[in-house]
Structure 1
Amino acid sequence: MYPTPAAQNPMAIASATANADMPLYSALGMTFMQCPLMTDIHHSQADVIVAGVPFDMATSGRPGARFGPQGVRQASANLIWEGKRWPWTFALGDVLKLEDAGNLAFRHGEPQTLVDNLEAFAAALVQAGKKTLFFGGDHFVTLPILRAQARQHGPLALIHFDAHTDTYDGGSQYDHGTLFHHAVVEGLVDTEHSIQLGIRTAYELDGHPFEVIDAAELNDLGPAATLTRIRQRVAGRPVYISFDIDALDPAFAPGTGTPVSAGLSMDCALKIIRGLAGMDIRGMDVVEVAPAYDHAEITSLAGATLALEMLYAVAAGKHPV
């Protein structure tokens, strides 16, 4: 059995023994894109660290996103053979060093251990100078990650793909629909330079902290015009990208807890992410993949493909496109 990140990085999570279960859902079957397993952050040569967060206790719809990291990694096997991914002009591994830290360990049934362990682990990665790519888990997992990022970099410009704004101020302490409300209150994101894309559920328009391009408008605008709006909004600031898989239409991503019709196509989403190349991307996540509701792994494959495209966007900053 592979060691969990808590075991691999004792300095990252000092209370790992007390605040983690045996790795029931944290066991790692394979790494993302078969990249090397990170065993010691202090000796890691990676530019980007991948990690999974098998947590779905904050979901308000169908559970199952705890198996998202497993599904995304497994589906990534379909992407390995290509080498130099179309339409990029270089192979990712020639430009960007990637390592997989496995899945976060915490006490299942005790969400606060997830919060504490994830924030500590993400902070250790960021302090080591690593960019991060996390696989959820439900969308709540983004909040502890943002806390770690903001503590190191200050408030980040958020580029958020989702069917829901996740800015609701009701709900429980652990709720995947309230994380960006808390992120705003805690000053983790720069709201004047953040944007939400693909929204198609109700939210309070008055006083909403983010610019929104809803799904209907985005689908009419197309990727090129949408990217112009994103660049104007972000304006050269440090960026965090959060992609809830339900931003995609259920035709492209049925395997998720709260599917909403009339979303983005996979083609549209990929073109937007490619257009983020050259931005100062500090961290990324792909969340809410729930393989139990999937067919033929198409949602897991979508999650893996989106994640790979984000990595190419990061790499493009180091390599002429």
Structure 2
Amino acid sequence: MRIATVHRARLTAVAPDGVGPDGPVRLQLQHLASTSDYAVGDWVLVEPDTRLLVRRLDRKALLERHSEDSRRAQLIAANIDTLFIVTSCNDDLNPARLERYLALANEAGTTPVIVLTKADKVDDPAPFCAQAAELQRGLEVVALNAKAPDAAQILAPWCGAGQTVALVGSSGVGKSSLLNTLSGKSADEGQATGSIREADAKGRHTTTSRSLHPVQGGGWAIDTPGMRSLQVSHTATGLDMLFAEITELAPHCRFRDCTHAHEPGCAVQAAVADGTLDPARLQRWRKLQDENRANTPVATGPRGNKITRGKRR
């Protein structure tokens, strides 16, 4: 079966071919087992008669986030093929925040796609698409009206049989509306929807927990609550992929440990000087690199007797 919801004291799951006539069923956990060890999208082996969860199968990809208040990572979703990073064609489109989601997707080993909603609310969504496409090489960007039927057709290449997508983004950008469109449900039948406040372009929380849903075309979608903040940690590989133009320039610097800030012979600063690298892009790279180093524990000590130091402040 596949995990459909994860709550503090219970798990629900669905059969591989769909939710069935009775919807997701509650699983029984073994003694001392914890729901925090499971993510929505996990595949598990279950005893058919007792619904006892026997074990979790190996994951293909795991999306997780680390917070300052917890030593354990929060599991967001598992076995995802594509991460739909949903934002809207208005002031909510924040390149710095989108880069955090992209680093998270890269580190998890899933393919990111930027989905720009509310395209029907602007005269021309092309400038928004161009701005988002510059954030990472080869990044797919689509613009749509989350409530329009053709949204499902636009996203069909990533929602076919055997494929799983997850939707992440700020509150109020249209994730729930998009999920309802993908699943072919009306607003009354599907997820509750909210809106962005016009005064500050901030959204209201409508989704409160992660859940798995079948969508048109035979695929699956995992809905997630809106994230007000996303801390960067344990994402060194994801950042290298995100800022590939800086990663490729670094080996050409004169000094091996160049910080790309003030050292002579810095290839990255030279690219800024000749206009081939956006200085704002370099500034955001430096901020995320510093944050990642500060928040990622480091193993130190002699070989065979290493200890892990906590996050440094």
TM bucket normalised to smaller: 0.3 to 0.5
Richer in helix (by share): 1
- Using the size of structure 2 for normalisation, the TM-score is 0.34
Larger radius of gyration: 2
Taking CA–CA contacts closer than 8 Å with sequence separation of 6 or more, which of the two structures ends up with the larger relative contact order? 1
Richer in strand (by share): 2
- Using the size of structure 1 for normalisation, the TM-score is 0.34
